[in-house]
């Protein structure tokens, strides 16, 4: 090699060295285990570190919650992380370049992990989902990442994204196919809904309110379906993930285990219902979006529990307000 070529190679290496060091630091960050204090707290609650994860994001409060499954299938709040920055205002993201952070139901798959992100670490939450695309919403690469800067993503500090990343990485490695990430405009209490009654995005918040309330009762991540260009939350009748498909005439809701007696009665009344699934709470005529949230009638099929025999419904606002994370931020 000529001296000039050798000097050029050395110069190139010196110039590239900072980038190589940064890449190695990123790889090391992506491989960091959960902090020992976090693992100890999980084990004390009989939660294995690789247990399934559920993430909730609240824009107005600038908070990200990490929940993990306990052996009984219920989820425990592990930690609430402060969000450095998110983009835009309350309401869903609609177009590429609007700098808005989305709202809705998303998920992180193994291919969405970004250990080499220029924002320290990142994972893609999956916007736009099928419903977003059906509604004509555009944009891409909405991440939870580090570096505290955002033009539509949810930006954390570098230290906090390392722990959040480890939670998601370990759950995916243990077999969780997709970590649900549900993004809310705020904590969906009745008081907050009333406070934002004049917000133009209010008509998009119905399913988010349902998911928030259902989780407050069950501590199980809500099951999300799509049909009729809308979300369906915890449906009794099977609903797929095709937002352009027609919705069933009756959908219903399931939240708690069915008694054998009610299971048999449901099957006799309508064999097409998932009688061995979970307990019906409400039903609606799919032609009415508002009926989806308010109806208590099955039409000609009687399968509801009488008001005097129905157990009192616990206030999800109160129950969620009483939840304390296992660990502080």
Transcribe 283-294 into DSSP letters.
--BTT-HHHHHH
Q: How many CB atoms lie within 10 A of CB 13?
A: 10
Long-range contacts of 29-36 (CB under 8 A, 24+ apart): 29/115, 29/120, 29/121, 29/158, 29/162, 29/165, 30/113, 30/115, 30/121, 30/165, 30/169, 32/162, 32/166, 33/166, 34/163, 34/166, 34/167, 34/170, 35/163
Q: Report phi then psi at 128, rounded to 5.
A: -80, 140
Q: Which positions are annotated as active-site residues? A: 145, 153
* DSSP 8-state code for residue 218: H
**Strands in 142-242 per DSSP E:** 143-145, 154-155, 179-184, 224-227, 230-233
Residue 321 makes CB contacts below 8 A (sequence gap 6+) with none
Alpha carbons within 13 angstroms on the beta-carbon side of residue 226 total 15
């Amino acid at each position: 090699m000529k001296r000039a070529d050798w000097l050029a190679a050395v110069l190139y290496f010196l110039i590239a060295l900072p980038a190589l060091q940064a890449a190695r630091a990123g790889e090391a960050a992506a491989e960091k285990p959960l902090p020992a204090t976090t693992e100890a707290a999980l084990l004390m609650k009989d939660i294995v570190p690789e247990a399934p994860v559920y993430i909730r994001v609240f824009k107005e409060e600038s908070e990200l919650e990490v929940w993990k499954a306990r052996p009984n299938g219920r989820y425990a709040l592990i930690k609430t992380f402060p969000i450095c920055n998110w983009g835009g205002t309350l309401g869903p993201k609609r177009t590429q370049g609007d700098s808005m952070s989305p709202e809705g139901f998303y998920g992180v798959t193994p291919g969405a992990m970004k250990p080499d992100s220029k924002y320290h670490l990142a994972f893609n939450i999956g916007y736009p989902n099928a419903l977003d695309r059906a509604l004509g919403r555009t944009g891409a690469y909405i991440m939870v990442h580090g570096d505290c800067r955002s033009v539509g993503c949810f930006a954390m500090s570098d230290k906090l994204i390392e722990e959040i990343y480890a939670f998601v990485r370990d759950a995916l490695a243990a077999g969780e196919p997709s970590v649900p990430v549900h993004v809310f405009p705020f904590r969906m209490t009745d008081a907050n809904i009333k406070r934002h009654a004049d917000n133009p995005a209010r008509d998009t918040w119905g399913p988010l309110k349902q998911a928030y309330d259902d989780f407050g009762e069950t501590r199980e991540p809500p099951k999300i379906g799509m049909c009729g260009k809308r979300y369906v939350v915890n449906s009794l009748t099977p609903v797929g993930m095709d937002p352009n498909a027609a919705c069933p005439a009756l959908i219903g809701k399931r939240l708690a285990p069915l008694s054998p007696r009610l299971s048999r009665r449901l099957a006799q009344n309508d064999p097409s219902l998932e009688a061995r699934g979970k307990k019906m709470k409400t039903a609606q005529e799919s032609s009415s979006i508002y009926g989806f949230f308010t109806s208590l009638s099955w039409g000609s099929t009687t399968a509801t529990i009488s008001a005097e025999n129905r157990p009192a419904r616990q206030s999800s606002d109160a129950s969620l307000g009483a939840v304390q994370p296992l660990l502080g931020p």
